[in-house]
């Protein structure tokens, strides 16, 4: 059988949430969705349609109810939580809307903390080089409170890439950046992912951002669950 052309492939993925009253709320029912190595893909869709749930499922942060999530030889859906955590630490970077940096630590320390849960020895030079690559070579020793929000997001991107992941998941990474600096963050994300040979799956509400991408998927087009929002 030929090798899969996909970096990650979802087949018949279903994800439900259970409401406090016991009612089951279907969120995702995706027959097929895939990302190829090095692809840069935007996911858009209305509020509440399940975009974050999709990213969490691919990251293994939340277990799916049925179906398959396949990374090459690894069947993520078959791994227990500890296995998914280990897989994520070594293979997936995640960038959040709110950066999630630790306030007591410098930019360099925050990036190095990204290496905590991997086999990779803490590599100061790699962390510093990535900060340089995202344009923060002059801010290594700044704490988050002494950085602009754009600089904080750049630091978060460096942290997400420090373990040389194969896939970067970015959940509305420009939502908290002022409009004047959003484009810089998008450009930086695209360039650094390209340079590091990392595929990117980005959720964004911004048409200005999604219009720049060749691969744009409206979640409603691949998700059979209707009326979530
Ligand atoms: N842990 C949870 N328990 C129950 N319902 C949840 C849970 N997490 C999310 N939901 C619901 O699942 C739906 C999808 O949420 P999700 O965050 O994936 O949407 P989204 O498309 O990312 O939304 P937005 O664009 O507003 O960020 C929402 O209706 C939300 O209320």
DSSP letters spanning 42-56: EEE--TTSSHHHHHH
CA of 133 to the centre of ligand 1 (A): 34
Burial environment of residue 7 by CB neighbours within 10 A (0 to 12, 13 to 18, 19 or more)? buried
| pLDDT score, position 116 | 82
| ipTM value for the complex | 0.97
CA of 52 to the centre of ligand 1 (A): 7
Please give the average pLDDT of every successive group of 10 residues along the chain, which has 229 residues.
85 95 94 97 95 97 97 97 95 93 96 82 89 94 95 94 95 90 92 94 95 96 78
| pLDDT score, position 224 | 93
Report yes or no: 57 and 217 within 8 Å, Cβ to Cβ: no
Q: Which of 13, 18, 27, 65 is the pocket-test mutation for ligand 1 (most atoms within 8 Å of CB)?
A: 27
Residue with tokens 């810089």: 184
Q: Could you give the domains of the chain?
A: 8-98+166-222 (3.40.50.300)
Helix, strand or coil, per DSSP, at residue 90:
helix
State how far the Cα of 136 lies from the Cα of 210, in Å rounded to an integer.
25
CA of 21 to the centre of ligand 1 (A): 17
């Amino acid at each position: 059988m030929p090798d899969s052309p996909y970096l990650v492939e979802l087949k018949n993925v279903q994800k439900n949430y259970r409401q406090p009253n016991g009612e089951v709320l279907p969120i995702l029912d995706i027959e097929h969705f895939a990302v190829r190595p090095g692809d840069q893909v935007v996911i858009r869709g209305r509020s509440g349609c399940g975009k974050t749930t999709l990213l969490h499922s691919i990251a293994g942060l939340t277990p799916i109810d049925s179906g398959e999530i396949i990374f090459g030889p690894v069947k993520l859906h078959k791994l227990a939580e500890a296995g998914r955590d280990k897989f994520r630490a070594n293979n997936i970077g995640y960038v959040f809307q709110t950066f999630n940096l630790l306030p007591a630590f410098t930019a360099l320390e925050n990036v190095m903390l990204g290496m905590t849960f991997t086999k990779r020895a803490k590599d100061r030079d790699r962390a510093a080089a990535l900060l340089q690559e995202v344009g923060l070579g002059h801010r290594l020793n700044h704490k988050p409170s002494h950085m602009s929000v754009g600089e904080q997001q750049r630091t978060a991107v460096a942290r997400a890439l420090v373990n040389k992941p194969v896939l970067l998941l970015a959940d509305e990474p420009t939502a908290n950046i002022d409009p004047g600096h959003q484009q810089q963050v998008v450009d930086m994300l695209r360039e650094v992912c390209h340079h590091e040979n990392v595929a990117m799956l980005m959720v964004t509400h911004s048409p200005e951002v999604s219009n720049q991408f060749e691969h744009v998927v409206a979640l409603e087009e691949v998700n059979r669950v209707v009326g979530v929002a």
